[in-house]
Amino acid sequence: WTFNTTIHGAVIYFDPGTEAQTAEVRVDAYGEHFMAFVSSVAFADNGNFATCQESRDEWNVGPQAPDDFMGPTLWSADLDVFAMVGQAFPPGAQEGSHLDMLHQSPLCMGIAHEQGNAFWAIDGLAGDVLRYDCVNDHGPGGGDHSDGVIRRYMDVTVTREANIVSHMEYDHATGMLYIADTGG
């Protein structure tokens, strides 16, 4: 999988590195919000993945003034779901195929998977590190975020450098979180 910030979508490769290699472009109908300028991605072991967006929410069902209502988006890696369900526009009962989104990290510049639907992310606007847990996703295109848990760690600061990922990696064996502070 690669992510294209120009189209707010993904390119999925099949049989990579072989003569049979093919690729498919997928763009969720609501990608301009839920996948706006993807800076980083982390795949979970449960068939989901999360993206961080280097965005201040300049689009939400249409262009708008930035309101910083952004954060990691949870997606299904199931190709029958990702950018396939909930694609009607304008919005109705479903807003695309995203599984969940918690909104506390505008200009999100790095993400790492911990466990289940829990991820660590960098709030590039405030320079803080956060732990997000979507707990139970709301299903494709839903909007109930009430079970989400967000913890902000303000004693760890990261300096955002525009267009350069400050990535992170969670070591499951030790419980350590490693952060690349590219602006500091």
pLDDT of residue 154: 93
The parent domain of residue 149 ranges over 28-179
pLDDT tens for residues 3-13?
999 999 999 99
pLDDT tens for residues 3-43?
999 999 999 999 999 999 999 999 999 999 999 999 999 99
User: Is 141 inside a domain boundary?
Assistant: yes
Cis preceding linkage at 90, omega within 30 = yes
Answer whether 67's CB lies under 8 Å from 110's CB.
no
User: Is 62 inside a domain boundary?
Assistant: yes
User: Is 119 inside a domain boundary?
Assistant: yes
Answer whether 82's CB lies under 8 Å from 97's CB.
yes
CA angle, 19 then 21 then 22, to 5°: 140
Burial 83-116 (b: 16+ CB within 10 A, else e): bebbbeeeeeebbbbbbbbbbbbbbbbbbbbbee
Query: Among the listed ranges 90-94, 122-126, 141-145, which one has the minimum average pLDDT value?
Result: 90-94
Rg, Å, the chain Cα set? 16
User: Is 100 inside a domain boundary?
Assistant: yes
pLDDT tens for residues 77-113?
999 999 999 999 877 778 999 999 999 999 999 999 9
Neighbouring C-beta atoms of residue 175, cutoff 10 Å: 8
User: Is 16 inside a domain boundary?
Assistant: no
Tokens of residue 167, six digits: 């990535």
Residue 117: pLDDT over 90: yes
User: How many domains in the chain?
Assistant: 1
Residue 178: pLDDT over 80: yes
pLDDT tens for residues 150-177?
999 999 999 999 999 999 999 999 999 9
pLDDT of residue 60: 79
User: Is 15 inside a domain boundary?
Assistant: no
User: Is 14 inside a domain boundary?
Assistant: no
Task: Quote the CA–CA distance of 72 and 42 in Å, as a whole number.
Answer: 10
User: Is 108 inside a domain boundary?
Assistant: yes
CA-to-CA separations, 117 to 30, 74, 184, in angstroms, rounded: 21, 8, 29
